[in-house]
Each structure stands twice: as structure tokens, then as C-alpha cells.
Structure 1
């Protein structure tokens, strides 16, 4: 590294100019030191467009006082961006996660700068994008300027995320703990959902799951299974016990046999240490990972996703609460479709029957303005704590009956009345 000179955060972001567009590294890899230095320049920068997916940590550039400096446009909404999105200070771009890299590579979303966080270079000068390759690889490929935060705490992962230090226009050396998501405490309701879902997962299946209590509950119920694989857009600590016990061994995956494939990950330090220099984990470009034509070639592909609400015909809202954007489209449709086309595949929507305030998540009709992320034509399995049903090949009337069967008892009468008024039976 002797020929490459580290800069201060202020110096590093000084190459960013007004009117340029910036991509910020995803999830737990968001380079906070560079983000803070960029925001500190808010008074002198104008009309800088910031693109990104979900990021952990603060997003100070979305503060109201920087509305003339930064135009924030996100392709997935996390907690740090919800107020800005719903107050009109930032914008949401609906998109399938599999297509985000293509938007960058095709110039639909042009990028001047990529702000990234990487592992230290090896003896050959190669750094790693670590826990987040996803759409970041594409952003780095097309950005005119790449600014990196080199962090010794970033694990070095195998796959598509290796970048030579000469790729960086400038970089800083800045050690900081990565954001950690502690394991969720699994409730009795979530445990029951996990039992129902695990009952339709076959030995030898390949899994896609997200982060949270329900995915962890499902994983906790798979100890008696054999020869499971993982091909997923992201994963967390929930898979670790199954890897350690040999339940997850990726033995029967025709693509990347023996290898866990993912686009990004988020969890505890134990998880980050597990993936560090681990040839059994491959972090790949999300344009490939979430490609339906790739997913469908994995036999028994089992996709487990959640929802905010589902109507009695099977329409799934997963990105908004009415008109209020809550998250995004993400990879749900990529995997729902891929799993449904897989030989022996199981696309599953899993959700609790009610909110914490006992509002039913199975509803006669979606809220006004709610986004349909997964259409009723795409839905197969739906699980709550009261059971799991398969809507595939069923009429609207039949779907309503099945979904009411797994609704909370407190809301069945209302749902049955709505179904009668709609279908006259």
C-alpha cells in the first residue's frame, strides 16, 4: 500500500461536486465516516442525488436542512429513511432487487460516485466488499469515482466483491464496529408459524429467507431436516446452528454445491466472523443471485417471505401501510416466482394473523393506496400461527375460505361476512 495514500474523510469526499449522483453502500456496510464527511459539506453542495438501498446507521443527509443539497432517492426503505420518505423529503423508487444492478449498468440511474466500505487489502492489494455485495458491485463497476472506507472490522468474503485498491480514486483508513442485529426473541406465535412452515420444507430443499423473528423461528424448527442448502438475497445468525449441526450442507444444489450463496448479510459479530475468509460462503452480485432464471433451476427451492397484509383473494402488500411506504419490493417477487417455477419448489408468505394491536393482517381488501408486491396469481402458500394453506389453483371464493381458516378467531366473522357479500356464498 506504500504507493497508495490514505486521506482524511474530509479530504476524501472533497472530490464530490454539486450536481453529481452518489451511491451509498448497502445495509451494515454503509461507510458512516464518509457519510458524515459528505453531510458536513451540505452547505456548499447543491443538487447532489443520493441513491441507495436499505442502510443501517444514521442517514443525516436526509435531514430537512439539507433538502437543497441532497436529493435522496432510495430503492428500499429502512427505519432511518421512513420519516424522510413519508414527509416528502426523500423519494422511493419501486424496483425488483434483481433489477437494481441493471438500472446502474444501463444508465437508467447514472452514478458519478460510489461510497463504499471494504476490508483491508491482502498482500496482492485486493480488498473485499465484505458483508454487502448486492447492488454495490454494479455501482462500483459504473461509477466514475470510487471512495472507500477501509475498515479492519469488515470481514473478507469470497465471491464477486474483490476490488483492487487501485480501483479507488481515494480512500480512508477508519476502524469502526459494524452495525449488529442481535438475535430476535421468538414469541409463541412465531414459533407456531415456524412449525407450520417447516412442515412443508422437504429434505434437500434450498432456502431463501430474510431477517427477523419469523425466518429465525422457521430455521429453529429445521433441526430434524437433512441436506438443506442456502441461496438467498440475505441471511443472518439464524442459519448458524444449522450449519454447525450439518443440516445445512448445500449438498444437493446443482449450482454452487457445498456453498452458501447470498448477496448481503446482517447480524452479530459471530456471523461476521463466520463469513470471514470462509470459502463455504460466496457473496455474489444480486443481479445473479435474484435472477429468476437462476433460482428456478434449484430443485425444491423454498422461499420464505413476509407481508404487511394480505386480502382474502391473495393479494400481498409488503411495502406500505396504505399510502405510507414502509420498506420496498426488494427480492420478494424474484424468489416467489423463482420458487414457484422450481421443480418441487415452495413459495411461502408467512405472517402473524394480527398486529400487536390485534388488527387482522388478513383483510377483505387492502388499505387504500397499499402496494401489491406479490399478485394473487403468484401466491402459493400462506402461513399464520393458525395453519398453512396453498392458494395455487384455487378460485377467489376458495382462497377466501382457506385464508379465513388461518385468520385470528376474533376476526373470522367479519371476514366471512365480507366474503359472503363479495362471492355470495
Structure 2
């Protein structure tokens, strides 16, 4: 039987596909901008047919309606990285958070959280019957490879990304055609603080370096200050529109990479339609599952790997908090520690943690993000043994190889001026002098 005949046999409506999900099933959903909206909407619409369906994924970029209180008996969300639409459910006990490094999620699914159902979002098949995972390869492809049931939303708007990014029609169980826009990531607002941080980070990047960039205003600001650099490369869990601009400007060429020379290597994508059009059928962009891209041993094969990530708080010992605010879970570790360790193992590599020096709370009070101690109940994301550079709008603190005394002194120098006296008092209590 031809793949075209198989495709027609497996075609159905989203409602028919949702009826294949059973009470008690564990459903793994494609990640971030790869969320299959039509399938999720149909599943939520069919909620009364379910009891205790476990929804597992990382960042939710869609509506997240399965987290609403009215569906508490039907769905329970198991988050691997909290987002805006899922945070409340975890905080109020309607959902759960499982701590896991991004690189280890495929093994988690293989060994601990076997998926009964994988909800996929794919490009239309090519002439050989292969669909691309598009913007979400990461844990989505490994989940599909082991799931009992594979339900695929086929969308002509999904870019056909290359690399290890394909599944054949014969491996799908249910096919739903749905033409809808791919979720787009809005542009982060870059203020003067972010610009200053970006400029400091960019000062640590040399011609020929290979970059990993996170999400948000600070990584976007870094890109603004790289336009005079030459032959930069990308090996990152994701990238957005700013990378496209630097490729088109001839700044990112990947020529000097020591692994996957000539290619940007990523595991998922978040951006605008411009980004999705750029990566479509583009052999200079290679997408692979996250247990390859984020494996520290693989990352380290890239010489001069510079990782740049954001954080919430740093204490005077250099302990970094990135995923919780006190005991309240805010996000997740994602790939931060994967890339910190990979960069530290890379020949000539650097890992950078970047953040504003202070935060203005809702009541108008300003607090220092360089703290005497991390907030009670907060979890350390990157340990003091792994930390390398800390950057704020006031400068760069290199902590690697420094004593606790010298670390504290370096961090106080880049703290907000309003808090330096208070931090110095603690410094003298702790270290004398």
C-alpha cells in the first residue's frame, strides 16, 4: 500500500481523534510554538469523556484550558517547565511540576513517564511520505517514537525543518488536517537596562565563538551588539528572529564551528513567521532531539562555546536561582545547566548568567537580585561550583576560580548602587576586614 493510501485511511476529524484518548492516559504534547492547537481544543471539548488524563509537556504557549479549575477531574497537568497559562494550576494544586534537565526528558519519558498518547504537530508529507516535526523536535520526536498512540495535526503552515526531524506517515495512527497559524513569540521589550546587559555580554564574545542563547529581552539585546563580530556560530536549544538578522548580515556563518560546521544546530524554535519561513527547507539549519543538542558532552565538542542565560537571583557565594521565587515554582531548569556544563567543558568556552541588578516589586519597593542569601525555600538552579560569569547592567563579575571572599567582592561591584552598602556590611560580617 502506498503512503498516500495510508494517509487517506488515517485521516479523521480532530473530534474523532480525541475520542481515541482514554481516561487515565498520559498525553505528551508537542512543545512550545509546536503545540497542536486543533488537537488540544478537541481534547478539551471532549473533557467529559475523561477522568484523570495526565497532560505532560514543557512550556505551554497556547490557552492551557486543561489547567482550568472546571477540568480538575478530567485533566491533571504534569509540567516540566511552567508557563503563564500553567503556573496557577501548579500553585493551587491542580497540577504538578517534575524537575528534570531538558536534555534528560527523552530518558524520563522512556523510563518513568511512558506516553500513552503523543499529540504531534507536523508539516505535510513530502513526496516520500515523511512529515517534519517543524519547530519542535526536542522531546517531541523521542515521545512519538515510544508512544502507544500517535495523533498528528498536519498543518501546511508548519515549516519543513531538516536534520533528525522526520516521521513517516506509516508511523502515525491518526491524522488530522488543520490549517492554522503557528504560534508566534512576541518581541521582547528591550529597555536601557537590557541594552547595558547585552553590551556587557557581547564584550565577552569573540570572533568565531559558538553561541547558545536563551529566550527574552536580554538574549535579544546581546544580539544587538554583535553586528561587528565575524564568523559566529550557533549551537543552542533554540533561537529566534535576531539570529536570522545576523545570518543575513553575514555575522553568523558557522564557518569556524568544530561540530556541524556550516549549520545552526537547535532543538526547537520560537519566533515570528519570518523565522519559520527562514528555516523552511533550509539546509543551514539542522534540528535534532534534545538529548543530542543539549547533551553537555555534545555541546563541549564545540570549541569556544558561549552560553548566555537569564536568572532570578544570585547570592554572594555565586549560587544561581533561575526557576523559583522562594518556594513558588516559576518556570523550570530548561537547558540552563546543560549549557553551563557544556560551555565549561568546551575548549575556550564561557557560561554567562545575565540579569538586571534589581527588581521593582508590585508595591513599588526595589529589591536587589544580588542577595546576601537566596530567598527562603528557593531552589538553586546552577550551583556555585558551575557558575562562571555573572553580568548585570553595572558590569561583569568573573567568579570561576575565585575564593568566596573574592566572589562576594566581585558581585557587590555589579550590584545596584542602592544595595552595595548593605551587601558590604554582610561582606565584613562574613569575611572581616
Same topology, TM > 0.5:
yes
The answer to whether residue 255 in structure 2 is matched with residue 251 in structure 1 is: yes
* Matching residue of 2:141: 137
User: Which residue of the other structure, out of 371, 386, 394, is the alignment partner of 2:379?
Assistant: 371
Inter-CA distance 138–3: structure 2 relative to 1 (3 Å threshold): closer
Matched residues in 1 for 2:318 and 2:12: separation?
A: 54
* Matching residue of 2:187: 183
* Matching residue of 1:360: 368
User: Which residue of the other structure, out of 395, 403, 421, is the alignment partner of 2:429?
Assistant: 421
Matched residues in 2 for 1:8 and 1:42: separation?
A: 16
Gaps of 5+ in 1: none
Give the drift of 1:326. 0.8
Give the drift of 1:88. 1.1
| 1:211-226 matched pairs, under 5 angstroms | 211-226=215-230
SS at match of 1:138: helix
The answer to whether residue 118 in structure 2 is matched with residue 114 in structure 1 is: yes
* Larger mean Cα displacement after TM superposition, 44-53 or 200-209: 44-53
* Matching residue of 2:33: 28
User: Which residue of the other structure, out of 55, 59, 68, is the alignment partner of 1:54?
Assistant: 59
SS at match of 2:237: strand
| 1:379-390 matched pairs, under 5 angstroms | 379-390=387-398
Matched residues in 2 for 1:180 and 1:373: separation?
A: 28
| Deviation sequence 1:69-115 (CA, Å, 0-9, x none) | 2221111111111111111111000110000011112x211111000
Matched residues in 1 for 2:135 and 2:272: separation?
A: 12
Matched residues in 2 for 1:184 and 1:104: separation?
A: 32
* Matching residue of 1:198: 202
The answer to whether residue 101 in structure 2 is matched with residue 93 in structure 1 is: no
Give the drift of 1:356. 3.6
Matched residues in 2 for 1:413 and 1:237: separation?
A: 41
Contact 1:385 1:406 in 2 (8 A): yes
TM-score by structure 2 length? Answer: 0.96
Contact 2:161 2:279 in 1 (8 A): yes
SS at match of 2:235: strand
User: Which residue of the other structure, out of 75, 84, 95, is the alignment partner of 2:80?
Assistant: 75
Contact 1:25 1:55 in 2 (8 A): no
Matched residues in 1 for 2:385 and 2:393: separation?
A: 23
| Deviation sequence 1:274-312 (CA, Å, 0-9, x none) | 001101101111000000111111110000001011111
Matched residues in 1 for 2:33 and 2:188: separation?
A: 17
Give the drift of 1:182. 2.7
Give the drift of 1:211. 1.6
| 1:224-303 matched pairs, under 5 angstroms | 224-303=228-307
* Matching residue of 1:316: 320
Contact 1:228 1:249 in 2 (8 A): yes
Give the drift of 1:2. 4.2
Matched residues in 2 for 1:240 and 1:210: separation?
A: 15
Contact 2:296 2:339 in 1 (8 A): yes
The answer to whether residue 48 in structure 2 is matched with residue 40 in structure 1 is: no
RMSD between aligned alpha carbons?
A: 1.0
TM-score by structure 1 length? Answer: 0.98
Matched residues in 1 for 2:250 and 2:165: separation?
A: 27
Give the drift of 1:184. 2.2
